[in-house]
Amino acid sequence: GKKLGFTFNSRNLHNVSLGQGQEVIAEQALDLAAKEGHWVILQNIHLVAKWLSYLEKKLEQHSEGSHQDFRVFISAEPAPSPESHIIPQGILENSIKITNEAPTGIQANLHKALDNFSQDTLEMCTQEKEFKSILFALCYFHTVVAERRKFGPQGWNCPYPFSAGDLTISVNVLYNYLQSRSQVPYDDLRYLVGEILYGGHITDDWDRRLCKTYLEEFIKPEMLEEGLLLAPGFPLPGNMDYNGYHQYIDDALPPESSYLYGLHPNAELGFLTQSSEKLLRTVLELQPRDSSTGEGGVGTREETVNALLEEMLEKLSDEFNMTELMAKVEQRTPYAVVALQECERMNILTGEIKRSLLELELGLKGELTMTSDMESLQNALFLDMVPESWVRRSYPSTASLGTWFADLLARISELETWTGDFSLPPTVWLSGFFNPQSLLTAIMQTTSRKNKWPLDKMTLQCDVTKKSREDFASPPWEGAYVHGLFMEGARWDAQAGMLTEARLKELTPAMPVLFIKAIPVDKQDLQGVYPCPVYKTRQRGPTYVWTFNLKTKDSPSKWVLAGVALLLQV
């Protein structure tokens, strides 16, 4: 290729933003630039897919005989999927390709956040010390909330598009407030940044709590004194110039770790484990789908699937006879209603499993024509994935098919035991419900009727026992014992009876049995507790179930930043 060094001035530049009929202007610019040795910048070529074949021919035409200083620069948004790649191969092969990949890690992104400002920015406010301190804290806040999404649901329940614009507008608001007031309005600043500027992106209430907690830790009157830590080992810097802040980041910021986000190292282990599983799952899905036996294989694809579906059909018990069950119920208590509802939903799921498996069995024997649904079911069984038609009638789960089916059989067994006489089990497997909220609501309804308390003035109290499910022979006089919960982000210290730091590599330790009972709202003790969200799976977000108040000696903000939650499945 030709050397890139040559004389250039702004008159030599033709900048064309494609779309809305700008293709003709682009063609004229290319012809003129090729003759005179100008530059042409074509922006947003992803918007003119049909014109790209013409562009390829035009560039090939100008590749010979054009001025030696003629250059073309092309920009496009990244394609969302491989099927959306529309730039012709000829253009790609004959061009120097540059991608703008966002930096990763706290250090690179903190430098990038600070790059939005200058020495002039730091000097423009009359309250210089306060302005500089809060500006640096906002840069760190922006970096942490943007980078935290790499930890998946434990970082944020939903990913949010925080941008540099959010940061610069926050600093403008800070400047306006400090210029017009003698005292720093910390509450106002936290509200504007956390609820409006950044909070405007946030749709999940638990994520909003997280954002608010970060700001409460970073922006407070103590920040003007020495010693406020933005992260372990990283104090808020004092009064420096612009280059001094950049140098401080390089010198004082600890090495990249989950501690910089307020998270436990297990969060990174969990994130990397899930990423690896996803990669291996993708590789598995890419293997050939022919029916021949692979090297070292144990049989054809059809033989493997056929053996699996026969095993499943054999293990699945008959559906619950709802007529008999309803006749057996002497009194339709809230607990009995929950059991009946769970049986009905289980019948819908097991009915679909049996129907689809029997249909596929006939298809594999050649007695039915294979349909696309049957092929999808066959692929799912072979790849150890839960089929889509089962997922639609099932409960949220991230498990593979083998684990999921074993869990299904355990749920059926639990329901069979419960519906034997419809008496509440000594401890209830809360994870085994399609709708866990129904049991928790039934606890409140039962207590409400018994004590004649208004249901809307009641709440649930969660007491963590020191026992396992085998230690209980009968249900409590009021409320219910529940088991089957796990904790992510921390662990429960059974001896001390409170939350404590997680042990390394213990990602989701099991909880002891919980005693759940209903009490009047005005009787609940909110001192020294962490409001802990309960989710059905590690995906969190839409799988939210309830909030249990758990005792803690540390500040609740520590567990908020650590993303601590209870899970019904792991």
3-state SS string for 336-402: HHHHHHHHHHHHHHHHHHHHHHHHHHHHHHCCCCCCHHHHHHHHHHHCCCCCHHHHCCCCCCCCCHH
Looking at the chain, how many residues does it have? 570
pTM of the model: 0.82
Residues sharing a CB contact under 8 Å with residue 531, sequence separation 6 or more, in sequence order: 547, 548, 549, 556
Q: Is residue 283 part of a domain?
A: no
pLDDT of 274: 81
One domain for residues 57 and 119: no
Q: What letters, b where the CB count within 10 A reaches 16 and e where it falls short, cover 417-452?
A: ebbeebebbbbbbbbbbbebebbbbbbbbbbbeeee
User: Tokens 């419960």 label which residue?
Assistant: 418
Residue ranges with strand state E in 22-131: 39-43, 71-74
Q: Is residue 10 part of a domain?
A: yes
385: CATH:
1.20.1270.280
One domain for residues 85 and 157: no
Closest CA to 468 of 421, 434, 512: 512
One domain for residues 393 and 409: yes
One domain for residues 246 and 127: yes
The number of domains in the chain is 4
pLDDT of 5: 40
pLDDT of 490: 96
One domain for residues 68 and 6: yes
Are 23 and 42 a contacting pair, CB within 8 Å?
no
One domain for residues 145 and 199: yes
Other Cβ atoms less than 10 A from the Cβ of 369: the count is: 8
pLDDT tens track for 485-538: 999 999 999 999 999 999 999 999 999 999 999 999 998 888 999 999 999 999
Q: Is residue 502 part of a domain?
A: yes
76: CATH:
3.40.50.300
Domain boundary among 423, 453, 470: 423
What's the domain range around 410?
299-423
One domain for residues 340 and 405: yes
Pick out the chain residues at pLDDT < 50.
1-8, 292-298
One domain for residues 120 and 142: yes
Closest CA to 475 of 450, 506, 443: 443
Q: Can you state the angle between helices 242-252 and 106-114, rounded to 10 degrees?
A: 180
Q: Is residue 555 part of a domain?
A: yes
Got the DSSP string for 223-262?
A: GGSTT-EEETTEEPP-S--HHHHHHHHHHHSPPS-GGGGT
* Alpha-carbon distances of 119 from 29, 127, 135, rounded to whole Å: 40, 15, 12
One domain for residues 416 and 434: no
pLDDT of 525: 87
One domain for residues 431 and 415: no
Distance CA 66, CA 37 (A): 8
Helix, strand, coil fractions of the chain, as percent rounded to 5 = 50, 10, 35
One domain for residues 340 and 365: yes
One domain for residues 431 and 539: yes
Q: Is residue 290 part of a domain?
A: no
Q: Is residue 286 part of a domain?
A: no
Q: Which two tokens stand for residue 163?
A: 């941008």
Are 152 and 274 a contacting pair, CB within 8 Å?
yes
User: Tokens 């070529």 label which residue?
Assistant: 45
Are 68 and 39 a contacting pair, CB within 8 Å?
no
Domain boundary among 244, 265, 286: 265
531: CATH:
3.10.490.20
* Alpha-carbon distances of 166 from 11, 104, 116, 143, rounded to whole Å: 35, 19, 11, 11
